[in-house]
Every structure is written in structure tokens, then in C-alpha cells.
Structure 1
């Protein structure tokens, strides 16, 4: 893996389907947005959607830690920043932050652990050497 940290930024508008009856974003919507950012991050690591389906190796979330600091509301534009923070032999960790674009307010912090899994066997595999060096 290169010396430069692998990072990705995505942008999402809060839609009706992201909110509850009070027009506040519900927790599962944040995870969907983080999933989009993480998928773009994986592409920067060499695992775009085509590569994953060809190799049948997929980064699978094994743990999610999330802190909800402030609510986002209907119509807010959110900026999600993701980065790879740790790399082991079989797992890696990514950190995410969600900010409201209009005032840069930090709304969410999230940390996820992932393993690379060979499908259809469902067998974890070692991370590529180029990732860990």
C-alpha cells in the first residue's frame, strides 16, 4: 500500500426516504450513505465493482461503531469523508465522518472493520501484499 493514505469524499442530499416523520435522518440512512463512500474507497484500493464481481472477493463489514452527534434534516447536503486507517494481515479499518455542508458541523463519526471474503465459499482471505506494505 502506498505511503499516502487512501481517502474518499462523497456528497449526499438528504431525501424524504432518509428521514422520519420529523424530517430528521434516521440511523439506517447514515449507514447507506457510509456504504456509498466505502464502495468508492474500495475502488481507490483497486476493488471497484467490476473487479469485485470478477474476482468474487468482497470487502465485508465485520464491525461498525457509530456515534450520532447532531441530526441532519431533510434537504441538508452532507459531505462524507472516509479513509483507511489500519491494515492487518486479514482485516482493515476505515474511519468516516459526516458533516453538514452548510455549516461544516460534524454530525456522525463511524469506524468499520472489514475482512476480504472469497465468495461463494464465504472464506476470509489474506489481504493483498501491496495493501499491507
Structure 2
């Protein structure tokens, strides 16, 4: 079957440091997990970490939208699926779904808007993703 979108799937186990005193994952932990998935997705799209460091062109987060649907809990294994959504000349969106592996329950959906910026000038760049 032909792949219709660039996608990355990562897995995370909910650790003690990801939870509050009730054993429920706190919002910052979800964002860290999304960040890991987005970083790996960026590499798949041609934005390797080392290349960005050399070129000084970085994807800069400009907006995050998160819907928390169900809580994850201590010990859960989560699947984070991220893909490239809408792309314009200067900005792109990454979309995410986070599910509990044991039952497939949808826990979190998120969208993030990013722009490529040349540093140290802070100059926005036009997008040019690898296919």
C-alpha cells in the first residue's frame, strides 16, 4: 500500500516523573512526548538535527493546540502518531494523536504550527520539504 502522508510513530511509557500525585499524566509530559515525535518526524522530512545545527535553519514553534480527551496513567504505554498537515509558503502544521496501546483509546489530539527561521538573524525562510 502506498504511503499517502509522511508519518512518524513513537512509543513512550508513562513514568513516575510524568504524573501528578494521583498517577495521572500532567500536560507538560504530553507536550514532551509530542516534541519527541515531532523531532523524529522532522528528520524524516529532511530536517536532521545535525544539519539544522550546521545550516542554522530551525523549525520554530508558533502555536500549539491540544485537546485532552482521556487521561493516561502511570505505567501506560502510549503510541504517539504525528504527521505533516497543511503546508504554506512560510508555515506548516504537524498533527498528532496519542493512544493508549493496551486498549487503543484516543487520549490526546494536538496540532502545532511551525515556521523555518534562519538564525541568528531570526529571518523566516520559505519551505522546501523533501518528498
TM-score, normalisation: structure 2: 0.94
Q: Identify the residue that residue 27 of structure 1 maps to in structure 2.
A: 27
Establish whether residue 95 from structure 1 lines up as the match of residue 106 from structure 2.
no
Conservation of the 8 A alpha-carbon contact between 1:89 and 1:132: no
Deviation at 1:132, TM superposition (A): 8.8
Conservation of the 8 A alpha-carbon contact between 2:79 and 2:100: yes
Once residues 80 and 48 of structure 2 are traced to their aligned partners in structure 1, the CA distance between those partners, rounded to angstroms, is: 19
Conservation of the 8 A alpha-carbon contact between 2:7 and 2:82: yes
Stretches of structure 1 lacking an aligned partner (at least 5 in a row): none
Once residues 36 and 123 of structure 1 are traced to their aligned partners in structure 2, the CA distance between those partners, rounded to angstroms, is: 25
Once residues 95 and 87 of structure 2 are traced to their aligned partners in structure 1, the CA distance between those partners, rounded to angstroms, is: 12
Deviation at 1:44, TM superposition (A): 0.5
Establish whether residue 14 from structure 1 lines up as the match of residue 14 from structure 2.
yes
Q: Identify the residue that residue 124 of structure 1 maps to in structure 2.
A: 124
Establish whether residue 44 from structure 1 lines up as the match of residue 44 from structure 2.
yes
TM-score, normalisation: structure 1: 0.93
Stretches of structure 2 lacking an aligned partner (at least 5 in a row): none
Give the aligned CA root-mean-square deviation in angstroms. 1.4
Q: Identify the residue that residue 114 of structure 1 maps to in structure 2.
A: 114
Deviation at 1:4, TM superposition (A): 3.7
Q: How many residues align structurally?
A: 129
Deviation at 1:54, TM superposition (A): 0.9
1:43-82 Cα deviation digits (max 9, x unpaired): 0011111111011111111011000000000110000000
